[in-house]
Amino acid sequence: MGNFLILDIEIQAIEEFLTKTLETVDTEVTHIFSQEKSGAFTGIDDFSNALFFPLSREAISFRAVFYELNAIVEWELQSVASKVYKYSLRFKPPKSFADITALDEVSRVKLVYDLPFNEICKLITDYYKINLSTLYGFEQVQFIRQSTNAFKHRKGFKDIRRDKGSKLLEEFRMNRTDAYQAIESTKGFLKALWKALDSLESL
């Protein structure tokens, strides 16, 4: 597992990216509204067309923040689980390239990175006896993951089979508050995870 200070710096970089992007968007939108007020737009759609690109960049920045935060959490949990995975009896295939005896076994190697998210969480819970769902920010971490998968696979639409309480053709929508809250919750979750693991090592 990496140094938490490095994780904190990575998350700060994501927050700075979001802030700088939104500052640029605000400047452009303010200018566009000034143009509209002065009568610079003569066509019926000119004003909305002018707003399209800055507002699109704003929406992209929200998704980018969620994607990056989700990746950081997955990488960290995979790192924690990797120490347990090689000793787990639940998975039979070779768990590293060092375990193979012939080249035709390469395709059978199943690394911890190949496991579904829930399996990784279960490995950590079973070995370390840490209930991830009780850690600060875990619910928000799950929301980030669900949102990221929705935009990755379904262009933002919720999956009524998996997303509790969702309606048909309902979309995940993000705003500035959501993005900053996601950053804070992710940082809090990883900090709580590190604290829980550190307390076990001190026993």
Q: Is pLDDT of 192 > 80?
A: yes
Give tens-digit pLDDT for 59-110.
Answer: 999 999 999 999 999 999 999 988 888 776 566 655 565 566 655 556 656 7
Of 155, 149, 147, the residue nearest 175 (C-alpha): 147
pLDDT at 1: 44
Split at pLDDT 50, 70, 90, the class of 54 is very high
**170 pLDDT tier (thresholds 50, 70, 90):** confident
Residue 69 has what pLDDT? 97
Counting Cα atoms < 13 Å in the Cβ hemisphere of 158 gives 16
Contacts of 166 (CB under 8 A, 6+ apart): 158, 159, 160
At residue 3, does pLDDT exceed 70? no
> Residue 32 has what pLDDT?
96
- Output the pLDDT for position 136: 95
The pTM of the full predicted model, rounded to 2 decimals, is 0.84
User: What residue ranges do the domains of the chain occupy?
Assistant: 59-201
Alpha-helical segments (H) within the chain: 4-37, 46-85, 117-128, 138-154, 176-201
Question: CB of 76 within 8 A of CB of 190?
Answer: yes
Q: Region 130-142: what's the mean pLDDT?
A: 93
Give the pLDDT score at 150: 87
Residue 172 has pLDDT above 80, yes or no: no
Are the beta carbons of 110 and 119 closer than 8 angstroms? Answer: no
Q: Would you say residue 2 has pLDDT above 60?
A: no
Lowest-confidence segment of 92-106, 125-139, 150-164, 189-203 by average pLDDT: 92-106
Of residues 84 and 111, which shows the higher confidence score?
A: 84
d(CA 151, CA 65): 13
What percent of the chain has pLDDT above 90? 56
Instruction: Label residue 89 exposed, middle or buried (CB < 10 Å: 0-12, 13-18, 19+).
Output: exposed
Mean pLDDT score across all residues of the chain:
85
**CB crowding 24-39: b at 16 or more within 10 Å, else e:** ebeebeeebeeeeeee
